[in-house]
Structure 1
Amino acid sequence: MTVPPDASISLDRASGPATVMTRDEAIAHVTSTNPLFAVEETTIRDIPHRVFVNAPGNLRQLLREAVSAYSDHELLVYESERWDYAGFASEVNRMAHALTKDLGIQPGDRVALAMRNFPEMPILVMAIVSVGAVVVPLNAWWSEEELVFALRDSEVRVVFADGPRHEALHTFTAEHALPLIGVRDAVGQITYRELLCGSTDSHWPEVPIAADDDFAVMYSSGSSGRPKGVVLTHRGAISTIHSWRMGKELLSLMDPETAAAVSESPSALIVTPLFHVTALHAMFLQGVSLGAKLVLMYKWNPEGAVDIIQREAIQRFVGVPTQSAELMAAASSRGATLESLESIGAGGAKRPAAQVEQIAKQFPGASVATGWGMTETNSLGILLAGPDYLENPDAAGRLTPPLQEMRIVDEAGQEVPQGEVGELTIKSPSNMREYLNLPEETRATLVNGWLHTGDLARVDADGLIYIVDRKKSIIIRGGENISCLEVEGALHQHPAIAEACVFPLPDERLGEAVGAAVYLREGADIDRDGIRAFLGQRLAPFKLPEYVWLWDKPLPRGGTDKLDRKALQRRYQNRHQA
């Protein structure tokens, strides 16, 4: 679930004077009159798709166009280090030539990045894709075994790693003669800095890159087993970024006053990991296309985030809902109003409905935003923000135009009537090419160009989409279906609960029982009975958790930073209530 940083209002029906266009009118006007967003139909892997005619052909071209437009604007900030667009591109190009000349990287080769949010990460991403190679961002929270699995699975040619990951991978890379390049605090035979200093050619690489060439293999959470390598193309990423850029053009026709208040080249704080699409696509790649200033946090710290927002006049903030809650608490404790913020978005997980109004009240100058997207869609999907979100805090949003198509289908693949629940499927040039080395799973997920998301959803008469639950996250208790998200939403309404995750547990009599793990805020004074009593005022009796576990630390998360429902289920499935 992701939201681009410039989503300051959802794209729904127009407000204001009668001359202002409706959503559909604005889409038709922009795509027919603005050459930048002209659309045509083409065939991609034997499937017809709508595509942008004049978007950049690949990510190297995206960066070149940004440098041409914003050369002396600041692009990247990390602590005391700063890069403008020209300086960033120079380092990208020098590293690109080092990859080819010193490390022998060829088009199509895969290069792994195993590190936290250091500035070398986005520089390397662009250097790798600029020579036609494929970037493989590895989850920095993984164990050594998981890291090694991904290196084997993706058959990388080179690995760049920071200190902890360098140490974890040293033995494996040595045994397999795999070059391991040290970044920042890593101690090794070859370092990023040495490669950069030895490369003086800052000209753009000239390797041909086709729109449908691969640009990345990004690993999804793989809740049913091993992580799955999601293969993404240049066209897929560009289609996503260009769709988001078009949003500002639509706003100017639907709500000129709101559009005028949205910064042309915003400043954004990146607090989620760059090995996920929320940070890589919605923040970094889109930010580059807008001429944004992007400030990196190595590791999330709410007090540190308040300092950065004030010091750098940050306008865009996107994080998981817990980070929004912690930012509110840190700002409140320090009396900080954070008046520079224009948008506070949620990515990685659904924001509890109760949090929407809380953010709007504490930061009245900021638009509250949410969205849905997947690694498999290059982060493109559904958006909702502004007054529309405040009025519909349980909704996921509306489909982002103009390339995507959506169907909500039953088990047989037939569309369900409006308002009924089915599986959300998406057709778009942003969709993944395949799951790496998993042809059967690819065929099951991509059916005639339609991506089966595994999310259960419904759509109302106004086009608002509601994500009801994951297809496999329904608890069936005595024949009654219980939505995990519904119970979690009720739990999040309690002020003492910072995080909640609900999961099914085996029950001899009813088949399944409801289990819940809750992370309590510091100083919270509530027990299991109090939680059940609170829920009893909001949910039907059969939906109440029979088992509740109280945590004094954040709940575990999976590979894409979502709460790890499967891990909690495994942990507690054979245990009595603690």
Structure 2
Amino acid sequence: MADGSGARTFAELDMRSNRIAQFFLSLDLRPGDGIAMLLDNSTAYFELAWAARRAGLYYTPISTHLKQSEIEYVVRDCGAKILLADERFAPVLEALPADLRARCATVFVGAGGLDDLISTFREAVALPVVPMGKDFFYSSGTTGQPKGIKQGLGEPPMTGADKAEWNVRLFGFGADTVYLSPAPLYHAASLRFSMKVIDGGGSVVVLPKFEALGALRAIETHRVTHSQWVPTMFVRMLALPAEERAVFDLASHRVAVHAAAPCPVELKEQMMAWWGPIIWEYYAGSERNGVCCISPQDWLAHKGSVGRAVLGKIHIVDDTGRECFANETGQVYFDGPKFEYHGDPGKTEKARTAQGWSTLGDIGHLDADGFLYLTDRKAHMIISGGVNIYPAEIENALVLHPAVADAAVFGLPNPDYGEEVKAVVQLQRGRRQDSAMAGELLAFCRSRLSNVKCPRSIDFVDELPRLDNGKLYKTALKQRYLDGGDARSHVIKG
């Protein structure tokens, strides 16, 4: 842990995960059963995940920002038999329905609780040979209810299988890797990449919570070689005064990876100017149906692209089902590994074509060289006066203004045009939320975008509902307006 709150050697992880696996087996959990974890970032996350793998169990991380009803939904849907949680969640979990608490026991593991649970299992033992347990993640639910992605259990543990995964090969993970994970471990990328690094003998440094100076300090202190980010973290770090950023020695840092949300070209250019050509990007989902990746060198030649396919083959399909030519925009599909949304064959079928290709719901195009460029999610598209407008393009423009910390754009009903473009902006600290600032932002948009794409109105909020994995919870934000809420602090009409 980057703050010094905990550390584990490989020997300790091996011993403790063995003892926790014994605890799971003592509860009559069998291969294919599930556990859920509602935990802040800690070393316990890895111990529990490895124990689940060794016992052949599915493990479902749950976002610590979910409300009680959302936690109930995930726990019910995944079928977990045990929910392992930090003590601070006790009031929420004790209020869950009685039938769910009876079916899924809550076990608190914080403040020494994990040591108490395994106190009777003092020695490592030979565990039953079972299929390796696997993560069972839920999508962020930014466009509706979270969707569970459950895949078949893997090979027996400790076989060395699957060592040539795309991320290991492209990013050069190995025994000398020191990987910084600044995001919550309940996010698929954070936990999967961290565990992949440890699988290969590398070291992982985890931030309890992202903080710009703390992240830079961790790179210097732990001589970090690899890291993973989301674009909002870049915005926060670039917002630091130049003199503060300059004091950190980042010479050990050789691979910085980002994903999860669109990154404006100018923002990435600023990061490249600061960190050098070490920034990689990939596009994938918890569904694991395909992956695109782009090196810093390829990105400089194809700015704005998320790369070529490194897992699966990409197809761009229009609304009629026709496969698009190069530079034609349509929905992005992968002909790659198959997945199913747990308990929802309708959603699974909706995400597939007749050929068996599957989509994450994004819109984009391929260039003549096979590089993918994303436009936005289909569910976020605004249709105003018959024109398709993609919010990500407007958000990327707004966030480049020095006063803007974050931005969200979505469509609201308009009696004349069907929908109109609404922008909600979170300003940098110390900036005034007034009509002058709103007018300045509107003019900034007009200098970069056609008038039809520019917001009809701009509101300010103190903080946008962005998840720690970088994804914007736009559905909840838009619903406030549809419900007639007064969460706005200022409005200016464009």
TM-score (norm 2): 0.89
Structure 2 gaps of 5+ residues are: none
Structure 1 residue 369 corresponds to structure 2 residue 295: no
1:65-104 mapped onto 2 (5 Å cutoff): 79-101=4-26, 103-104=27-28
1:215 to 134, 144, 150: 134
- The secondary structure found in structure 1 opposite 2:410 is strand
**CA spacing shift, 1:551–1:77, aligned 2, 3 Å:** closer
How many angstroms apart in 1 are the aligned matches of 2:34 and 2:241? 42
Deviation at 1:416, TM superposition (A): 1.0
2:60 to 127, 133, 136: 136
Structure 1 residue 416 corresponds to structure 2 residue 324: yes
How much identity, in percent, do the aligned residues show? 27
Are the aligned partners of 2:59 and 2:134 in contact in 1 as well (CA < 8 Å)?
yes
1:140-289 mapped onto 2 (5 Å cutoff): 140-172=64-96, 176-177=101-102, 178-185=104-111, 191-209=113-131, 215-235=134-154, 242-247=165-170, 265-281=176-192, 283-289=193-199
Deviation at 1:328, TM superposition (A): 3.6
Alignment-mate amino acid for residue 400 of structure 1: V
1:296 to 206, 210, 214: 206
Greater RCO, 1 or 2 (C-alpha within 8 Å, sep 6+): 1
For residue 307 of structure 2, what is the aligned residue in structure 1? 397
Are the aligned partners of 1:331 and 1:338 in contact in 2 as well (CA < 8 Å)?
no
How many angstroms apart in 2 are the aligned matches of 1:290 and 1:449? 33
2:401 to 494, 510, 523: 494
For residue 35 of structure 1, what is the aligned residue in structure 2? none
**CA spacing shift, 1:563–1:510, aligned 2, 3 Å:** same
Deviation by residue 1:60-88 (Cα, 9 ceiling, x = unmatched) = xxxxxxxxxxxxxxxx7762532222221
Alignment-mate amino acid for residue 158 of structure 1: I
Structure 1 residue 506 corresponds to structure 2 residue 422: no
> How many aligned positions are there?
475
TM-score (norm 1): 0.77
How many angstroms apart in 1 are the aligned matches of 2:233 and 2:80? 33
For residue 384 of structure 2, what is the aligned residue in structure 1? 477
Are the aligned partners of 1:306 and 1:330 in contact in 2 as well (CA < 8 Å)?
no
How many angstroms apart in 2 are the aligned matches of 1:391 and 1:531? 30
For residue 567 of structure 1, what is the aligned residue in structure 2? 476
How many angstroms apart in 2 are the aligned matches of 1:183 and 1:546? 50
Alignment-mate amino acid for residue 455 of structure 2: P
**CA spacing shift, 1:114–1:241, aligned 2, 3 Å:** farther
1:300-319 mapped onto 2 (5 Å cutoff): 300-319=210-229
Deviation at 1:533, TM superposition (A): 0.9
How many angstroms apart in 2 are the aligned matches of 1:446 and 1:120? 37
- The secondary structure found in structure 1 opposite 2:118 is helix
**CA spacing shift, 1:221–1:263, aligned 2, 3 Å:** closer
RMSD (Å), alpha carbons: 2.6
**CA spacing shift, 1:235–1:426, aligned 2, 3 Å:** farther
- The secondary structure found in structure 1 opposite 2:72 is helix
How many angstroms apart in 1 are the aligned matches of 2:2 and 2:33? 29
Deviation at 1:427, TM superposition (A): 2.6
Deviation by residue 1:379-438 (Cα, 9 ceiling, x = unmatched) = x5111231222343311111115xx12211122433111111111111323x43x21211
1:111 to 32, 35, 39: 35
Are the aligned partners of 2:232 and 2:470 in contact in 1 as well (CA < 8 Å)?
no
Deviation by residue 1:509-538 (Cα, 9 ceiling, x = unmatched) = 111100111111123366111111111111
1:523 to 405, 412, 430: 430
Segment of structure 1 superposing worse, 290-299 or 457-466: 290-299
- The secondary structure found in structure 2 opposite 1:298 is coil
**CA spacing shift, 1:201–1:77, aligned 2, 3 Å:** farther
How many angstroms apart in 1 are the aligned matches of 2:188 and 2:228? 12
For residue 406 of structure 1, what is the aligned residue in structure 2? 314
**CA spacing shift, 1:524–1:391, aligned 2, 3 Å:** farther
Segment of structure 1 superposing worse, 438-447 or 144-153: 438-447
- The secondary structure found in structure 1 opposite 2:439 is helix
For residue 351 of structure 1, what is the aligned residue in structure 2? 263
**CA spacing shift, 1:240–1:543, aligned 2, 3 Å:** farther
Deviation at 1:454, TM superposition (A): 0.9
- The secondary structure found in structure 1 opposite 2:186 is coil
- The secondary structure found in structure 2 opposite 1:82 is coil
Are the aligned partners of 2:220 and 2:249 in contact in 1 as well (CA < 8 Å)?
no
Deviation by residue 1:89-147 (Cα, 9 ceiling, x = unmatched) = 1111111111102x221111111111111111121111112111111111111011211
Deviation at 1:155, TM superposition (A): 2.1
Deviation at 1:560, TM superposition (A): 5.4
Deviation at 1:340, TM superposition (A): 2.1
**CA spacing shift, 1:439–1:223, aligned 2, 3 Å:** same
